[in-house]
Structure formats: C-alpha cells, structure tokens
Amino acid sequence: MTRLDDDHFHDECGLFGIFGHPEAARLTYLGLYALQHRGQESAGIVCSDGTGLRLEKGLGLVADFFDDAKLESLTGDRAMGHVRYSTAGPSVALNAQPIVIDCHRGPIALGHNGNLVNADLLRQELESAGSIFQSTSDTEVILHLYARSHREKLEDAIAASLTKVRGAFSLLFMTKDALVAARDPWGFRPLVIGQLEGATIVCSETCALDLIDADYVREVEPGEMVVIDRQGLRSFRPFPPEQPRQCIFEHVYFARPDSQIFGRNVLVSRLALGRQLAHEAPADADIVVPVPDSGIGAALGYSQESGLPYQWGLIRNHYVGRTFIEPRQSIRSFGVKVKLNPVRSILQGKRVVLIDDSIVRGTTMRKIVRMVREAGAREVHVRISSPPTTGPCYYGIDTPLKSELIAANEPVDEIRRHIEADSLAYLSHEGLLAAVGDPDGARHCTACFSGRYPVPVSTSEDQLKLFAEARRG
C-alpha cells in the first residue's frame, strides 16, 4: 500500500452528540457523515436509553463501518459519536473514540477534538499512582482524572478534571443520564449547539446540523461547559477566562465551506482570502486554477478581484482514500495522478495562477506544478492563501515536525525554486487576519504562521519526536 501524501495539515476529529430524540443513533450517524472531512480513519457511536451505555466503534469511514444492524442495536434517545483522523500505526484501532470507561460513578463516554499539551506529564503522574491506560491517546487522561475526582456532581467532577489539563479541547461526555460539552478557554476548536424537534445537539460544525434539518442555536463559548439532561441545558464557566484563540486554519482549510465557524461562514472567509491574495500578489497571467478542493474558495476570490477567468484546470478524483496499491513499476508523479488530473485543453499555452491554501513539505506542490506544465501551461505562478507555515500545531492538528516544514527552513525564493514555479507568493499575516474579520488578531490562533503559541509547549525537537512516536503507538 502506498500512502497518498496530500501535503496538508489535517484536522484530527469531529464530534456529534444529541439528547432527547428517539432516533438519536441514526441522527448521530448522519451528523458524523457530514463531519467525515474532520477524520477518516475511525468512527464510533455510543448511545443510551437511560440504563447503560452501548458502544460501536471501529476503523474506516462512517458509511463503511456502520451498517443497519449496528445502528439498530444502538437504541435510546441520547447518543454521541466521533470521527478521527490519526497518524499511521498499530494504535489506530486502540485510539478510536468515543472512549468508554466504567468507574465508581458508573459508565461514561468521552470524545475529544483537540490536543492536550500536558497529557504526557499527567499520564506519568497517573500511571505512577496506579492508573492503567487502554490507549496511547491523550484523551484518556481526562477520564482517569474524572474517575479519581471525589466531587459528587457530574459537572463538578468533569470540571475538576478539566482544570488540570492544558491545551485544546472541544469535548463531549456522555453518561446514561446526561450529555456534557466543554470547550477550552481559548476556544481552539469549534463546537456548536443546535436543536431538532425538542432534542439538543452539540457538534463540531454547522454542516452536521444542516444535513438533519436542525436549527443552529449558538456556539459553545470558549471556556464554557454545558450539561444537557432531562432538566434542559445548564451552562457553567469552570475555567479562568483567557483571550480567545480560535484556530484560523479552520477558515483557511479544515472546516467545510458551508459551515459557520466561530460565527462566520467559511466560504465567505475563503473568498476574502483569495481577494486579499490577488490584491497583495497580482500575477501577469491568463487564468486562475485552484488545486481542488483545498484551493477552490481562494481561487474564486482571486479571480473575482483580479478579473482573470477562473478555470477548472485540474480535476480531482473524489473517491480516492488515503492509500492505494501501486503497479510494480512505479510511474513518475503517480501518487498525485491518482488524485488529480490536468485538463490539457484548458491549460495549453496559458499563463496559470495556481492557487492552494498552504504548502507543507513542498513535495506535492512540485508534482502539481510539473503536472500543470506538462499539460502545456506556459507559466505557472503559485499563490498561497495563507502565510508560510513555519511551525507545527500542538492544538489538535496533525502536522509534521518543524524540521520537515519547508517554510520553516527555506526562504520563499528557495521554495519557489524547489516547487519549480515561475513565481510564488503567500498571503501576508495581516491579510490573513483581515480576511477572516479579525484585523487586530484579537480572537485567533495563528501560531503555525507566527510562532506565537498561546498555550506554552515544549519546542524541543527530541521531545516532539518522542511525542509523535508515542502517538503512532
């Protein structure tokens, strides 16, 4: 099996929970289906009819893993589910979520989108105090902390465990009586509340609400914890307030363009990113071509602002997974060709502005530039709708180490030479913030571009390698 390197940062998880609907598990299945872009390697749903928890989880896409029989067995009016992207390795199945434990308080399930920066330390402490972990995931730390809490009420025990962890978390807990959602004080990852026929929903993105015709109510605010049970919805503020630092990359790439993220439509942001890019980095060219799908929104915006026609010069095969079997004799650029095919009659003789959201290692972009040129383009001018990615993410996004990030190690002109483009330009940091409606940079995390990490992390490369290996199991 060959792994397809699409050279992007990847979101690691999507969440969907519902309380008070007779079709809870099936609606959760549909919600996860809409959130599949946030994680493709494992899926799970836990449900309850008020007597206990029932879990089904495993590897694969939501539609592949769940069949009618599995969904039929998930009875009850409350359910929550999780999709997960993960790095390769034997830990993939073990780390599928929701994670369910049974402790002195009864069974509880947890799904997590984010990453805890002090999980390793807490895990060491818990293990030396006798805790036995079932996975390598940082999420399990939260459940061990919860199980050790002496607080009587559910919300107090959850809050007590969450005040010990640091980093990014959008979380869903489920017991047989309640659904609890919590978002870290910085609000790194999205989490929204919706309603359907008297049932309350909490999920990662509004596109999941749209699919099931639910109404969007509001976000779970940064630093907020909500408890949903037979009494209704109660809101708590268990953490000291922080300056919000919502992930700007959700707008650039991760979230679906039809979602409202942090109170703003993602496609509107991507169009604005493209317009700003055209303003900052015009090109003497004939057509604008996106790298599909990641560059589409920004390419439309670039076309609108520059007046250059938008053209569908690269066609993406939407049915490829993350791996494929190569023929015995390898063909040059085969990996990219599985996913993208150039349209010669569009590209022939043209000066092309090629738009994508980011360049991570640079290997894939070089193959795409070559492909466009081999299809007859006269010039290829690459424009990127975000600043150079110079640092990894420690807040729930799968990223390579800093040493593997081309922009962390090479100046822009060297990257241009590496990807074999006629010209290369990135969006400025100021342009990025302006395009998402936050010109002062008061609400967003931009650490992978700026190096300003809102929650301190160790930047020792050795420690990070150990961390990455541990996650790979």
Helices (H), 163-221: 206-211
Q: Which of 157, 448, 455, 457 binds ligand SF4 (CB under 6 A)?
A: 448
Catalytic residue among 13, 207, 247, 393: 13
Question: Residues 34, 447, 455, 457: which binds ligand SF4 (CB under 6 A)?
Answer: 447
- Does 393 help bind ligand SF4 (rule: CB under 6 A)? yes
Backbone phi and psi for residue 429, each to the nearest 5 degrees, phi listed first: -60, -45
Among 173, 188, 262, 302, binds ligand SF4 (CB under 6 A): 188
Instruction: Tell whether residue 19 is a contact of ligand SF4 (CB under 6 A).
Output: no
Amino acid at 68: D
For CA atoms 96, 98, 102, 104, give the dihedral sign. Answer: positive
Which residue, 368 or 393, has its beta carbon nearer to ligand SF4?
393
Tell which one of 83, 174, 247, 289 touches ligand SF4 (CB under 6 A): 247
Where does 13-112 have alpha helices with state H? 24-34, 62-65, 68-73, 91-94
Residues 239, 310, 395, 426: which binds ligand SF4 (CB under 6 A)? 395
Residue at token pair 């980093």: 167
Minimum Å gap between C-beta 389 and ligand SF4 is 8
- How many residues lie near ligand SF4 (CB under 6 A)? 12
Structure tokens at 153: 């009420």
User: E strand or H helix at 157, and its extent?
Assistant: helix 154-162
Beta partners for residue 381, in sequence order: 353, 423
According to the binding rule CB under 6 A, does residue 249 interact with ligand SF4? yes
Should residue 385 be labelled a site residue for ligand SF4 when binding is judged by CB under 6 A?
no
Please tell me the distance from the alpha carbon of residue 136 to that of residue 111, in angstroms, as a whole number.
Answer: 14
Binding piece for ligand SF4, criterion CB under 6 A, among 219-227, 374-382, 443-451, 455-463? 443-451
Minimum CB distance to ligand SF4 smaller for 382 or for 393:
393
What is the secondary structure of 301-323 as a DSSP string?
HHHHHH-PPB---EEE-TT--SE
State how far Cα 413 lies from the chain centre: 30
Which of 446, 455, 457, 471 is the binder for ligand SF4 (CB under 6 A)?
446
248 binds ligand SF4 (CB under 6 A): yes
Q: CB-wise, 13 or 421, nearer to ligand SF4?
A: 13
Phi-psi region of 74 (alpha: psi -120 to 50; beta: other; left: phi over 0): beta
Task: Give the separation between CA 47 and CA 28, rounded to whole angstroms.
Answer: 9
Strands 225-229 vs 246-247: parallel, antiparallel or unpaired: unpaired
- Cβ–Cβ < 8 Å for 113, 55: no
C-alpha span between 450 and 20 (Å, rounded): 43
Establish if 436 lies at the interface with ligand SF4 (CB under 6 A). no
Stretch that binds ligand SF4, among 68-76, 257-265, 373-381, 389-397 (CB under 6 A): 389-397
Q: Bridge-partner residues for 273, per DSSP?
A: none
Pick the closer one to ligand SF4 by CB: 19 or 262: 262
CB of 443 to ligand SF4, least distance (A): 12
Confirm or reject binding of residue 433 to ligand SF4 (CB under 6 A). no
Tokens of residue 182, six digits: 């919590």
Closest CA to 266 of 384, 33, 436: 436
Contact by Cβ (8 Å): 330, 320: no
Residue 144: phi and psi, rounded to 5, are -65, -40
Q: Which is nearer to ligand SF4, 65 or 449 (CB)?
A: 449
Nearer to ligand SF4, 79 or 171 (CB): 171
Is 142 a binding residue for ligand SF4 by CB under 6 A? The answer is no
Q: Which stretch binds ligand SF4 (CB under 6 A): 270-278, 340-348, 360-368, 441-449?
A: 441-449
Is 13 designated active site?
yes
Complex with ligand SF4: residue 38 or 373, whichever CB lies closer: 38
Using Cβ positions, the residue closest to ligand SF4 within the complex turns out to be 393
List contacts with ligand SF4 (CB under 6 A). 9, 188, 247-249, 393, 395, 397, 445-448
What is the set of active-site residues?
13
